[in-house]
Amino acid sequence: MIDIKLVRENPELVKENIKKKFQDHKLVLVDEVVSLDKELRERKLEADTLRGKRNSVSKSIGVLMSEKKMDEANRAKQEVVEINDRLVFLEKEEERLELEVKKRMMAIPNIIASDVPLGEDDSKNVEGKKYGEPIVFDYEIPYHTDIMEKLSGIDLDSARRVSGNGFYYLMGDIARLHSAILSYARDFMINKGFTYCVPPFMIRSDAVNGVMSFEEQENMMYKIEGEDLFLIGTSEHSMIAKFKDQMLDAKELPYTMTSYSPCFRKEVGAHGIEERGVYRIHQFEKQEMIVVCKPEDSEMWYEKMWNYTVELFRSLEIPVRTLVCCSGDLADLKYKSLDVEAWSPRQKKYFEVGSCSNLTDAQARRLGIRVKDGDKKYFAHTLNNTVVAPPRMLICFLENHYNKDGSISIPEVLWPYMGGKKVLK
């Protein structure tokens, strides 16, 4: 959520930002906020004036009564009653107008960075830099679930019978590989100075509203029926909400945390041949990183965070590239975002395995995360980034380490996490 002062003082800038995100249907929200906010401030001014008048009239009643001026005292009492009636109306109007303003402000997108490329959708995202040479083998790479099945590592049929499409059983060496990658990613981030955390896997609606836009909620979140609880779609949700309604000491910043969690997503609209297997699923596990910092440090942390993901994938001998997200592909709370994509030797193309986002103070405003820095108070900046998210990550891992005889080579960094195993056969 952006600062309402910006809407008041520079509505055209806010409208231009909306146009850059190709959300012209939201332009009307800016004018509505300006109008409603003006009315709200007028109501508050009238109420404050009446409270002052009520105090003055109330004080006069005692004086009038002591002077035996009963008629004037009764008229003053009646005036206080009328003021109170008007104040009840004004307070209800203030509450109504505040809700109307907030509802629209929550739908207005965050101001995007000046270097974000303009484009309607993800087809206009811009390639950044490649890390590692993409491998093209001189033998056929099977589909990832076929590789897993030959290693007795996955059972999709049983998962469909038990839970439906979009679920899986991982078994044996594949299940162990899945856990090994998460454990390695955890230790990788701890060694970067991040604090390890296992957060709640369910959060309340006020936390959900604080960390994501309404459109994202509709497409992602599972609601627990009969309770004010949602299953998290990523640990970022509960990790950022951890600081909800807190006044943070600037001396303690930045908070750098890496968190493990299962993730649950509806994946509304997912389709296509590459959605088979474990590419788009309703349940997966993830190692995440989040940073809460001073505004002047968020750009520096943004660069550091996505570079950590690149470094981790290269340590696993997987070629990757970065992809800068265009304006139309940014979720409403994002200032800028960059995807890390891994090379698929089978498809001979890259696909997304992580996403790094700087949300500036958009989440902090929604959640009330403020910083006390000497005499100054301001909203914190928040950032999040995927360290690794198996089992999707297993797709690129298995393809890039697949041998002609059907075995899978294990990179050296994972040997300790695989009980010394160097090859899966």
User: Domain boundaries in the chain?
Assistant: 4-105, 122-424
Q: Which two tokens stand for residue 93?
A: 């109007």
Q: What is the pLDDT of residue 274?
A: 47
Phi, psi dihedrals of residue 287, rounded to the nearest 5°: -105, 125
Please name the residues in contact with 317: beta carbons below 8 A apart, sequence gap of 6 or more: 132, 400, 401, 411
Q: What is the pLDDT of residue 220?
A: 84
- Whole-structure pTM over 0.75, yes or no? yes
Of 419, 154, 380, whose CA–CA distance to 253 is shortest? 380
Please name the residues in contact with 385: beta carbons below 8 A apart, sequence gap of 6 or more: 288, 289, 290, 305, 306, 308, 309, 354, 355, 356, 357
Q: What is the pLDDT of residue 334?
A: 96
CATH, range 122-424: 3.30.930.10
Q: What is the pLDDT of residue 276?
A: 66
Please name the residues in contact with 13: beta carbons below 8 A apart, sequence gap of 6 or more: 6, 111
Q: Which two tokens stand for residue 231?
A: 């299953």
Mean pLDDT by 10 residues, the chain (425 residues): 93 97 96 96 95 90 85 89 94 95 95 96 95 93 95 94 92 97 98 97 92 79 93 94 96 97 78 64 94 97 98 98 97 96 96 96 96 96 96 95 96 97 96
Q: What is the pLDDT of residue 153?
A: 96
Question: Are 336 and 325 in contact, with CB atoms under 8 Å apart?
Answer: yes
Question: Are 276 and 165 in contact, with CB atoms under 8 Å apart?
Answer: no
Q: Mapping DSSP to helix (H, G, I), strand (E, B) and coil, where does residue 230 land?
A: strand
CATH topology of domain 4-105: Helix Hairpins (1.10.287)
Q: What is the pLDDT of residue 237?
A: 93
Torsion angle defined by CA atoms of residues 104, 110, 114 and 119, in that order, rounded to the nearest 10 degrees: -80
